[in-house]
Amino acid sequence: MKTVRRRYMGLCVFLCALVLTACGLPCLRLSAWALETQTKVTGTERVYDFAGLFSPDEKAALSEDAAALAETMRMDVAIVTTDEHEGSAQEYADSFYISAGLGTGDAYDGVLFLIDMDERELWIATSGKMIRYLTDSRIEAILDDAYAYISEGSYYETAQAFLADTKICYENGIARDQYNEDVETGKKSRYHSLTWYEIAFAVLVAAVCGLAAVGSVVREYGMKDRDSRLAANFKLSYRKDSAFTRGLNMSDVLLGSYVTHTMIAAAKSSGGSRGSGGGFSGGGRSLTHRSGGRSFGGGGRKF
């Protein structure tokens, strides 16, 4: 009986150890990666070169350019390289964005550019307002430029292309036909091009122009003084007495009518001008997905 009990307890211990090992190893790997991230992601760093793709001078130059762009846009900008991680490039980029505390404002506005040497993939993750600026078509245009460099192993130039193209997209502004579309629910959120202060300004300008027009008419036809009224009455009486009324009753004669002829210049046709950056002026859809309780946009390409 004791032998059976010992064998039973030994089997239970073995099974428990097996379960703990199976569950513990992924957690330990994930915890190790999180600990590494926490030790390396500090301060206001803009370039996180975990894969060691940049020289010290290149990293310093990219950090300076990324910081200047972030200040201009008032949104966060980060460049990340990695050669080992958990999950897909998209999952890694989204998780890193959250764990590193990236993003400005309540919507965590910003963009992250990932060079993933593990999956051999470029990925652009957008959050908050940046989702509106970097639509799917604009992301594809950025990836086109970046791919030309990454295919040659020019990692520094790849990151530079991302920063330069993102700046052009920001300067071009949010396209009027832009909308966000959730990949899970299909719900669309369209961009409203007119803000409340733009509408208020337009109403104010219209009111000023209207008052100016009314004032001009009042000044011209008001005839405030007595002499002007007498002269006008005399002219009306003269016209009434001398009107040619053959075949017409006096009631049919329209008095006091004035016809003004104004030359209207023909509208000049002008060809539409493309925004700076060519393909970076495109708008349209921004696909979004949920990750870590937040909404992200983005896109990627294998190399």
DSSP-assigned letters across all residues of 43-60: TT--EEETT--S-HHHHH
Q: Residue 115: beta bridge partners?
A: 81, 122
- pLDDT band with cut points at 50, 70 and 90 for residue 10: low
User: What is the mean predicted confidence (pLDDT) over 128-150?
Assistant: 97
User: What is the mean predicted confidence (pLDDT) over 259-275?
Assistant: 42
Instruction: Write the pLDDT tens digit of every residue in 88-120.
Output: 999 999 999 999 999 999 999 999 999 999 999
What local confidence, expressed as pLDDT, does residue 190 receive?
87
pTM for this predicted structure = 0.63
Burial of 194 (0-12, 13-18, 19+ CB in 10 A): exposed
Rounded-to-integer distance, Cα 246 and Cα 241, Å:
13
What local confidence, expressed as pLDDT, does residue 292 receive?
93
HSE, CB side, 13 Å, CA atoms: give it for residue 182.
10
Mean pLDDT taken over the chain: 76
Rounded-to-integer distance, Cα 300 and Cα 127, Å:
15
DSSP 144-210: HHHHHHHTTT-HHHHHHHHHHHHHHHHHH---TT-EEEETTT--EEE--S--HHHHHHHHHHHHHHH
What local confidence, expressed as pLDDT, does residue 255 receive?
43
Cα 267 versus chain centre, distance? 34
User: What is the mean predicted confidence (pLDDT) over 135-160?
Assistant: 97
- pLDDT band with cut points at 50, 70 and 90 for residue 233: low
Rounded-to-integer distance, Cα 229 and Cα 235, Å:
10
The CATH number assigned to the domain with range 31-192+280-291+295-299 reads: 3.10.310.50
DSSP, collapsed to helix, strand or coil, labels residue 126 as: strand
**Distances from the Cα of 117 to the Cα of 19, 28, 90, 168, 237, angstroms:** 33, 22, 13, 27, 95
Whether residue 8 is predicted with pLDDT greater than 60 in this model: the reply is: no
Residue 97 CB partners (closer than 8 Å, separation 6+)? 78, 103, 108, 110, 112, 125, 127, 296
Q: Is 78 or 32 the better-scoring residue by pLDDT?
A: 78
Identify the H or E element spanning 11: helix 2-40
What local confidence, expressed as pLDDT, does residue 275 receive?
43
- pLDDT band with cut points at 50, 70 and 90 for residue 51: very high
Q: Is 280 or 243 the better-scoring residue by pLDDT?
A: 280
- pLDDT band with cut points at 50, 70 and 90 for residue 173: very high
**Token pair 């071009």 in the structure block, residue:** 172
What local confidence, expressed as pLDDT, does residue 252 receive?
47
Rounded-to-integer distance, Cα 158 and Cα 143, Å:
9
- pLDDT band with cut points at 50, 70 and 90 for residue 191: confident
Q: Structure tokens of 53?
A: 């793709």
Q: Are 80 and 115 in contact (CB under 8 A)?
A: yes
Whether residue 124 is predicted with pLDDT greater than 70 in this model: the reply is: yes
What local confidence, expressed as pLDDT, does residue 119 receive?
95
Percent of residues, the chain, with pLDDT higher than 70:
56
- pLDDT band with cut points at 50, 70 and 90 for residue 240: low
What local confidence, expressed as pLDDT, does residue 242 receive?
54
